[in-house]
Structures are given as C-alpha cells and as structure tokens.
Amino acid sequence: MTDEAIRVRRVSAREAAQCIEALADVLIDCVAGGASVSFMWPLPRDKAVAFWQKVAEGVEEGERALLVAQDADGRIAGTVQLVLAQPDNQPHRADVAKMLVHRRARRRGVAHRLMAAADDVARDEGKTVLVLDTVTGGDAERVYERAGWQRVGNVPDYALMPDGSFCGTTFYFKHL
C-alpha cells in the first residue's frame, strides 16, 4: 500500500548539505532497527553526520545522485543513492547504495518509490546496468525482486549486523 503523501525527489548538492542532520536521523534509526548498512550499533551521531557529509561532497562532485522520500510534513522518510562514478570501462553502470527507510515510514511503499525513482535517475544519467547488494533473507530482497532485480548469488558471512553477528549478502543486477 502506497502513501500518496510521500514525495520522492533527487536533491541538489546544496540541498544534500542542508539535509545532513535529517539523513543522519534516518541512518541512525535504520541501524538501531538492525539494518546491516555498513555501521555498527550504537552508531554515534557524529559518525552518521560525517558519513552524510561525504555523500553530500560526492553529490557536489557529480559522483553520486542522492534521492530522498519526504512525508507530508517535509520530514525525510527514506533515501537511496546512485554511485555514478565508475571505472573507465564501466561508464554505463551505477551502484545502488544505502536504500534506507525510517521505521516510522515502512510498509507504505516508500522503498518501492525510491527504487523506481532511482531507475529514472539512472536512465537520465545514461546508465543501463545497475547493481546492489543486500542482507541475505532480509525484507529488502522482496522489494528488489518485485522491482525486477535479478539475483546473482549469495556470499555467506560477508558482513556484520549492527549487533556484531555475521550475515550473508545477496548481489543483484538490473538492466534498464
């Protein structure tokens, strides 16, 4: 079920810098909720802010596209990135990174809308192949598979969950 009050959009470098605190809130909430997204729990706020500052710099440099989902009150409910900067022999490819949805906004179609918008931005940027990885057996797998992503394979014990336990990672790709 989707929430029509959710608006998804690509943000500019200036807007990315202005959203850092709100994006840090989403990241901290997701890690607190057990999401394996490169961070351990507890996640200090300064570390979350520093991460988003780097992302904003990447947006400024044209290396990344940052999309946000905002609720009717303008609060950031979710986010996803496209890593546009790739090696010389892969100009047609982008990586999807840090698809995050705040727990207060889950089960409302936010992830689906973020991923559809990421596809559109990728097309606008001339990308024809997208890749991503996610926790094996996690809720995100259903989102990606419903959106037409193809499973490549799993790597056991690839990363750690925020609590320190091992988790496998599943790799996906999508042709646009």
**pLDDT (mean) for 54-60:** 98
At what angle are helices 110-124 and 139-146 packed, to 10 degrees?
A: 50
CATH of 7-127, one of 3.40.630.30, 3.40.1190.20, 3.40.50.300, 3.20.20.120: 3.40.630.30
Main-chain phi, psi angles of 99, to 5 degrees: -80, 110
Closest CA to 101 of 29, 22, 20: 29
**Could you tell me the pLDDT band of residue 1, with boundaries at 50, 70 and 90?**
very low
The pLDDT value given to residue 63: 98
pLDDT digits (tens, 9 = 90+) for 151-162: 999 999 999 999
Cβ proximity of 112 and 69 under 8 Å: no
pLDDT digits (tens, 9 = 90+) for 117-163: 999 999 999 999 999 999 999 999 999 999 999 999 999 999 999 99
The pLDDT value given to residue 2: 54
The pLDDT value given to residue 88: 98
Closest CA to 133 of 113, 154, 112: 154
Instruction: Record the pTM.
Output: 0.96
